[in-house]
Structure 1
């Protein structure tokens, strides 16, 4: 099927400090599969207010928001959906006739994955990270009933703020703690990053864990995920998070929910498979 871009084609986009290709490939694959007159393009910006103003002024239908813009964009929007207001972090903007509403599909994806994997709220955990995505994950854990948690963050101000928001403890390093679940929400292990080959937690903590959850999506098997699987430890991958949150964005933008088979095909295409 060949799609033609016309004056009526609706544009969706993303804003990130480091644009990737996953969203572009995922959304455009589904537009073609479902014969929808949309096109998706990734952008970066050094002028966030102007970029958000452009979404409104040009009638851009939707925008995925990545770091470092997830909190900074909030004052520029007209309203927040419950998923974003509850955690004060936005990863999705939907434009309805110039009215910009913020959502957080990261939060929705994490809640769904915790349910799908049957992770008990009685599980103790350590979450490493304190940025916008860490807030989404920590709040999803809190709202799912997880009470025994610690936020591991070297940035004391951000780490303490996140811990206090969610009712958890803060520590700069994990140390001798051995929680049942380890959650990485930092760029450690991300392809192309300075710490692409590093582990977000030490070997002793990994070996003592019952489950590892790495929110890093690229590569699908980070060093942390590989280390856990080598020990037979249950895992949740960022590759699962990125697909679910992108699916929710797609539905918000188009009003269409693809079939599971179409989602699998789009995810494989987006990963280059």
Structure 2
């Protein structure tokens, strides 16, 4: 008997090679007996992004994740977006319904769930390094979850200030921009420090230039990088006694939400955790 045609899902971004998301989704599809598949697609330019997005409907895709650097650039290419995308100004996944591309954003929801498995966000003073498409979603969602204050540290003032303004406009929580110049001195009173850049990703494993003597050992330290699970940034934080949250945990939390949105099946977290651990060779 010829099996039914696979339902296609995937990711658009650049680079995508080191991301374990395809191994995770394919394992979970198989666990639930779904004839679905997940493809990572390395898209070299914004022009190619437009071509790829236009092809999703005729190719029969059911859903698509969007990763760096296209979470903002993809928005004009969509038919509509949900309220989260309107508030945040970026989309990290699409559903495809009746030939229409619908943008959603759960980057921040994933990070909030991952952090709150370790510690509550309410009242925290957050410092975020970087403020791209994922960072802006995380900043807004952390504010919605009760963070008391956010500092966005970026090299480009226009980007950082725009995200700070978005946070305050969407949540009412005060947010400010700080210039990233050389080694970052973390402001006094910071209780959560997040790396939202690509520094530390395999295979380069670049260090994040932070003055660790300015980081309180009680400060929760978070990294969005998914490969490796424990980046140089988190390894240093852990060696100084800081509680840490890794990017793999965030990926699992947001992937479960996307899986359920695409398939209508309630996922089992243990299956996601096991699949991503195997993908990373753990």
Same fold (TM over 0.5): yes
Contact 1:183–1:213 (Cα < 8 Å) also in 2: yes
Matching residue of 1:15: 12
Contact 1:191–1:219 (Cα < 8 Å) also in 2: yes
Q: Deviations over 1:21-76 (max 9, x none)?
A: 51110111111111101111111223111111111222200111011110111111
Structure 1, unaligned stretches of length 5 or more?
none
Q: How does 1:246-257 map to 2 (within 5 A)?
A: 246-257=255-266
Secondary structure of 1:170's counterpart equals: strand
Which one of 31, 35, 42 corresponds to residue 33 of structure 2?
Answer: 35
- Give yes or no for the alignment of 1:175 onto 2:185: yes
Contact 1:184–1:200 (Cα < 8 Å) also in 2: no
Could you state the TM-score of these two structures normalised by the residue count of structure 1? 0.91
Matching residue of 1:184: 195
Q: Structure 1 residue runs of 4+, over 6 Å off?
A: none
Q: How does 1:1-273 map to 2 (within 5 A)?
A: 6=3, 8-20=5-17, 21-45=19-43, 46=45, 47-167=48-168, 168-173=175-180, 174-175=184-185, 177-178=187-188, 179-193=190-204, 196-273=205-282
CA distance in 1, matches of 2:186, 2:98: 53
CA distance in 2, matches of 1:27, 1:256: 13
Classify 1:234/1:77 alpha carbon distance in 2 versus 1 (closer, same or farther; 3 Å). Answer: same
CA distance in 2, matches of 1:145, 1:89: 21
CA distance in 2, matches of 1:50, 1:14: 14
Contact 1:217–1:242 (Cα < 8 Å) also in 2: yes
Q: How far has the Cα of 1:203 moved from its partner?
A: 1.6
Contact 1:130–1:155 (Cα < 8 Å) also in 2: no
CA distance in 2, matches of 1:261, 1:190: 25
CA distance in 2, matches of 1:234, 1:5: 51
Q: How far has the Cα of 1:6 moved from its partner?
A: 4.9
Structure 2, unaligned stretches of length 5 or more?
169-174
CA RMSD of aligned residues (A): 1.9
Using the TM superposition, name which of 9-18 and 44-53 deviates more.
Answer: 44-53
Could you state the TM-score of these two structures normalised by the residue count of structure 2? 0.88
Q: Deviations over 1:84-113 (max 9, x none)?
A: 222111111111121111111212112222
Q: How far has the Cα of 1:208 moved from its partner?
A: 5.0
Classify 1:82/1:261 alpha carbon distance in 2 versus 1 (closer, same or farther; 3 Å). Answer: same
Secondary structure of 1:257's counterpart equals: coil
Classify 1:200/1:29 alpha carbon distance in 2 versus 1 (closer, same or farther; 3 Å). Answer: farther
